[in-house]
């Protein structure tokens, strides 16, 4: 009989195991721990962000605040420093390792009692039934993550377990992922490889970051963040971030040479709106108004690239049924941490922060 069994060797499960230190069992169906950690942040693992508020998360704000009250970005940075895990601010407000191996090697050294290549079949009371037999524990922690990156062995076992125990589950959807386009935006695909710094609006959210045109549609950081908040309806892009009239100053130059945009994009856009690439002095008032679409181009995405291309999954176990220790209000010996919960962060280290913060809150109870 173990004190704690942890299901899943991703960031949240590994962090919890490293804190518990003894009389736990970590069960992982992959052949190695932390496979998603390895590839995150381009192999540098963006671990947290200087600016930490619930506004950067899709989920219940009050619940998120309660979790961060006990372990926030400053607590995480102090923990990293205490364990000689050096991070750098490589992007504004974002912290990275030189390599994700820094964190992985720490977990490999400090997390010992692991059962790899073990399929979790079901949970019954204090028993975890696997393809390698049955394990018992006083407490069971579900840290199985979402279903993005299926090539890395992602699984939906966590929400299956939650449903079997009577929990309300919000179905997983891809998030932080590129968007496919409808027929009207097929011209996006012709611009594959072009990147533009733009303002992207979805609902009441605004993201000022790069967008990237793709052979499948549109992606890039601003679009990935927008995908977290998009459910249906339109997304607006301001390609210029200043009124187009600010750039039409030289009457003797062509439109495409006046706009601070890649020339291939400018020419394709003019073609789409049915406007000749002519000298500015020949532009009529109604044609300038047409060009203002560059400041407010709206489109309704057809859908998303899918889980295989998604950074994370949004949705998961309803947090109204989880207490301040990440414990199930329905089954008090069951805990849920990390991505399996219905809390999803934007790009920028927010999802790793959530993984560690939610794990620490479970640890507050389990260390007793």
Q: Where are the alpha helices (DSSP H) in 275-316?
A: 285-291
Residue 279 has what DSSP assignment?
B
User: What DSSP assignment string belongs to 22-37?
Assistant: SSEEEE-SSSSS-HHH
Domain range holding 38? 2-173+314-366
Q: Give a yes or no: residue 272 inside a domain.
A: yes
Question: Same domain, yes or no, for 161 and 183?
Answer: no
Q: Cα dist. 135→30, 138, 228 in Å?
A: 18, 11, 37
Helix, coil or strand: residue 226: helix
Question: Same domain, yes or no, for 155 and 271?
Answer: no
Question: Same domain, yes or no, for 67 and 166?
Answer: yes
> So what's the pLDDT on residue 70?
97
Q: Between vectors from CA 170 to CA 164 and to CA 176, what angle results, nearest 5°?
A: 130
Q: What is the domain-level CATH number for residue 231?
A: 2.40.30.10
**HSE of 214 in the Cβ direction (CA atoms, 13 Å)?**
19
Q: State the distance between the two ends of the chain, measured CA to CA, in whole angstroms.
A: 17
Compute the distance between CA of residue 29 and CA of residue 27 in angstroms, rounded to an integer.
7
Task: For strands 334-336 and 133-142, give the pairing.
Answer: parallel
User: What DSSP assignment string belongs to 50-71?
Assistant: S---GGGEES-HHHHHHHHHHS
Question: Same domain, yes or no, for 28 and 135?
Answer: yes
- Averaged pLDDT in 10-residue chunks for the chain of 368 residues: 97 98 95 92 94 98 98 98 96 95 97 96 94 97 91 87 96 97 97 98 97 97 98 96 95 95 97 96 94 98 94 97 97 97 98 98 95
Q: Give a yes or no: residue 132 inside a domain.
A: yes
Question: Same domain, yes or no, for 293 and 320?
Answer: no
> So what's the pLDDT on residue 233?
95
Q: Where are the alpha helices (DSSP H) in 23-156?
A: 35-39, 61-70, 73-82, 101-110
Q: Give a yes or no: residue 57 inside a domain.
A: yes
Question: Same domain, yes or no, for 89 and 202?
Answer: no
**Pair 283, 255: CB distance under 8 Å:** yes
Helix, coil or strand: residue 82: helix
Helix, coil or strand: residue 296: coil
Q: What is the domain-level CATH number for residue 165?
A: 3.50.50.60
Helix, coil or strand: residue 198: strand
Residue 266's H or E segment, with its range, is helix 263-272
Residue pointed to by tokens 């710094």: 197
Compute the distance between CA of residue 338 and CA of residue 142 in angstroms, rounded to an integer.
9
Total structural domains within the chain: 2
> So what's the pLDDT on residue 150?
75
Give the number of other CB atoms < 10 A from CB of residue 266. Answer: 20
Q: Give a yes or no: residue 152 inside a domain.
A: yes
Compute the distance between CA of residue 177 and CA of residue 221 in angstroms, rounded to an integer.
9
Residue pointed to by tokens 């950074």: 311
Question: Same domain, yes or no, for 161 and 195?
Answer: no
Question: Same domain, yes or no, for 137 and 21?
Answer: yes
Question: Same domain, yes or no, for 97 and 116?
Answer: yes
Q: At what angle do helices 350-366 and 11-20 cross, to 10 degrees?
A: 30
Q: Looking at 304, 324, 357, which one is the last position of a domain? A: 304
Helix, coil or strand: residue 250: coil
Query: pTM for the whole thing?
Result: 0.96
Task: For strands 195-202 and 205-214, give the pairing.
Answer: antiparallel
Q: Looking at 282, 304, 326, which one is the last position of a domain? A: 304
Question: Same domain, yes or no, for 145 and 241?
Answer: no
Question: Same domain, yes or no, for 333 and 359?
Answer: yes
Question: Same domain, yes or no, for 129 and 239?
Answer: no
> So what's the pLDDT on residue 148?
87
Q: Looking at 304, 323, 352, which one is the last position of a domain? A: 304
Take residue 288 and report the two structure tokens written for it: 């300038």
Q: Give a yes or no: residue 309 inside a domain.
A: no
């Amino acid at each position: 009989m173990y004190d704690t069994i942890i299901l899943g060797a991703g960031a949240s499960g590994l962090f919890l195991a490293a804190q518990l230190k003894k009389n736990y069992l970590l069960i992982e169906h992959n052949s190695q721990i932390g496979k998603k950690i390895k590839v995150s942040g381009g192999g540098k693992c963006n671990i947290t962000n200087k600016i930490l508020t619930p506004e950067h998360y899709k989920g219940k704000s009050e619940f998120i605040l309660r979790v961060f009250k006990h372990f926030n970005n400053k607590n995480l940075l102090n923990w990293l420093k205490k364990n000689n895990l050096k991070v750098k601010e490589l992007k504004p407000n974002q912290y990275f390792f030189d390599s994700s191996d820094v964190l992985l090697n720490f977990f490999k050294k400090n997390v010992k009692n692991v059962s790899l290549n073990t399929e979790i079949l079901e949970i019954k009371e204090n028993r975890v039934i696997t393809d390698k037999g049955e394990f018992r524990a006083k407490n069971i922690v579900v840290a199985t993550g979402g279903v993005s990156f299926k090539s890395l062995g992602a699984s939906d076992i966590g929400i299956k377990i939650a449903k079997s125990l009577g929990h309300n589950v919000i179905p997983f959807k891809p998030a932080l992922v590129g968007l496919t386009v409808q027929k009207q935006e097929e011209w996006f695909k012709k611009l594959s490889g072009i990147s533009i710094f733009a303002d992207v609006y979805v609902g009441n959210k605004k993201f000022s970051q790069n967008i990237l045109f793709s052979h499948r549609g549109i992606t890039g950081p601003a679009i990935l963040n927008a995908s977290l908040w998009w459910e249906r309806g339109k997304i607006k892009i301001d390609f210029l971030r200043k009124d187009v009239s600010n750039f039409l100053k030289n009457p003797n130059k062509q439109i495409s040479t006046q706009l601070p945009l890649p020339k291939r994009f400018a020419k394709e856009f003019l073609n789409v709106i049915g406007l000749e690439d002519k000298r500015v002095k020949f532009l009529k008032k109604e044609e300038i108004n047409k060009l203002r679409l560059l400041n407010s181009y709206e489109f309704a995405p057809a859908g998303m690239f899918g889980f295989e291309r998604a950074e994370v999954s949004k949705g998961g176990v309803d947090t109204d049924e989880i207490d301040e220790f990440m414990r199930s209000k329905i089954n008090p010996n069951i805990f849920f941490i990390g991505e399996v919960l219905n809390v999803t962060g934007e790009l920028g280290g927010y999802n790793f922060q959530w993984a560690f913060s939610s794990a620490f809150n479970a640890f507050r109870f389990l260390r007793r």
